Amino acid sequence: LTGTSREQRAFQYVLAHAIPGDPHHILQTFDQWCYHCEHLSCVGPDKGRIVERVLLEQAPLRVLELGTYCGYGTVLLAQGLPPGARLYTIEGDPRHAAVAEKVIRLAGFSEQTVELIVGPSEEVIPRLREKHGLMNANLVFMDHWKRCYLRDLRLLESHQLLAEGATILADNVLFPGAPHFLQYAKTCGKYHCKVHRANLEY
């Protein structure tokens, strides 16, 4: 009825209620909107704690996020980066990317820290090294279309974009599910797998 998307309405709420430059408060404000107003498929606070724990344990210097959506996960990742680290985030939908760009900058992260790349992941991944300067990633956070998980993991492998000992953190592999990705990760012999049990978003 308003002519604006759910994502835009959520951003307007964040803009009105969140403290600019405070990533934690921006995430909390998003959570309030999602709990009480409209559902968004953001990472959410429950699974967010898993992401924060991985960031704390690994202190990755080069992080790649597949599926920026509204920028919630991006802000979550960016606030946990060690000094001098860089986050590359890929979003295929230009409308979502436009919202995410505002959210990321509102949280106080510059383009030097967070680079938002708009385009289909299968087209962007092969160009990450030469066009965006990502030699390889220490941590990859997958939160885009589940059917793309396996394809994009293989793309990262074939373009040698995974650093030695890299961590792949993939959301929603059980529900709605990414069975082919999960089977490959468990049986290909390249990865040690761990499933984190968590609630769905909100």
Question: Which one-letter DSSP state was computed for residue 169?
Answer: E
* Residue 92 CA: distances (Å) to CA of 32, 70, 103, 120, 198: 26, 12, 17, 5, 26
Which of 7, 31, 138, 146 is catalytic? The answer is 146
Q: Is 146 a catalytic residue?
A: yes
Please indicate whether residue 152 is annotated as part of the active site.
Answer: no
Task: Choose, from 171, 186, 190, 199, the residue flagged as catalytic.
Answer: 171
Non-local CB neighbours of 57 within 8 Å, separated by 6+ positions: none
Q: Is 171 annotated as catalytic? A: yes
The dihedral region occupied by 68, where left means phi > 0, alpha psi between -120 and 50, and beta the remainder, is alpha
Q: 31, 91, 143, 152: which is the annotated catalytic residue? A: 143
| Residue 69: alpha-carbon gap to chain centroid | 8
Residue 136 known to be catalytic: no
Q: CA 80, CA 36: separation in Å to the nearest integer?
A: 27
Would you name the residues annotated as active-site residues? 143, 146, 171-172, 201
